[in-house]
A = this chain, B = another copy of it.
Amino acid sequence: MRTIRYHGIADELRLRVSSGVYAAGRLLPSESVMSVEFSVSRVTIRKALEILRDEGLVKARQGFGWFVAGKPVQQPLGRLATIEDQMRDSGMQPERRILEFVFEKAPRDVATILGTQQVLRVTRLNTADNEPFALVTVWCSADLGQHLSRADVERSPFYELLEVPLSGASQTIGADAARAPEAELLNIPIGSPVLRCERITSGTSGQVVLVSRHVFPAHRTEFVVELPFAEPSIAPSGLRLVD
């Protein structure tokens, strides 16, 4: 299977940036240096860097260099309140009802993400004032889950029960039509639109810890995302920290 060169290079550079090999605010090696390191032309290196620029990971200044963009991009996203907080603020009573708590063989896609076949699956229904508003399925590896009991997940949020420190997550948001079982549980007509969200939560060492799927009735929920734009961020002048 052929791969496009600069995609692979972008992957490698993304790894270095996110893993801290290239620290925040510091200059990256120049395009020429990198082109020698990867044994490709400067054009190809640029292509890879431009991908990372589009992702907001790095920035460039003509005549100066490429440097790792700071954290400000990530700040506004993290500041958004979670749904439970908002519900409590508006005086609602959030509750969760555990529907299933089983150790089983994971669906293939989940298995490949988690890297394990045997998993613990917990399916729960979140309600607010006795109105269902979210159907959640969480998978984690059977190893991790074997310390948990059904009573545990009924009492506390999942994240508090795991002894693994969590570091980050990737969240995918899409729309879909409600299928029969979930429609019944959520008390909505079959085929009515729902928000479908898949979240992959990773540990500090980068391994995938949790996979969770959420289904929300569309008419009751929406996502809000704050998007920061290219701020005038100028790296301190005269600062060249290439080791």
Contact = CB atoms under 8 A, between A and B. Distances in A.
Interface of A: 1-4, 22-23, 26-30, 51, 54-56, 65, 71-74, 76-87, 89-90, 126, 128, 133-134, 136, 138, 157-159, 166-177, 191-195, 197, 199, 201, 210, 212, 214, 216, 218-242
Contact of A54 (B28, B81, B223): B81
A190 to B, nearest CB: 12
Contacts of A218: 174-177, 193
A35 B235 CA distance: 43
A160 to B, nearest CB: 8
Nearest to A109: B20
Nearest to A210: B234
Contacts of A176: 175, 193, 218
Contact of A170 (B134, B167, B199, B225): B225
- Majority secondary structure, A binding face: mixed
A199 to B, nearest CB: 6
Nearest to A65: B2
A191 B231 CA distance: 31
A195 to B, nearest CB: 5
Which of A79, A172, A235 has the most chain B CB atoms inside 10 A of its CB? A235
A223 B240 contact: yes
Given A26-B1, A54-B81, A65-B2, A171 B73 contact: no
Given A1-B29, A169-B230, A227-B79, A84 B177 contact: no
A239 B221 contact: yes
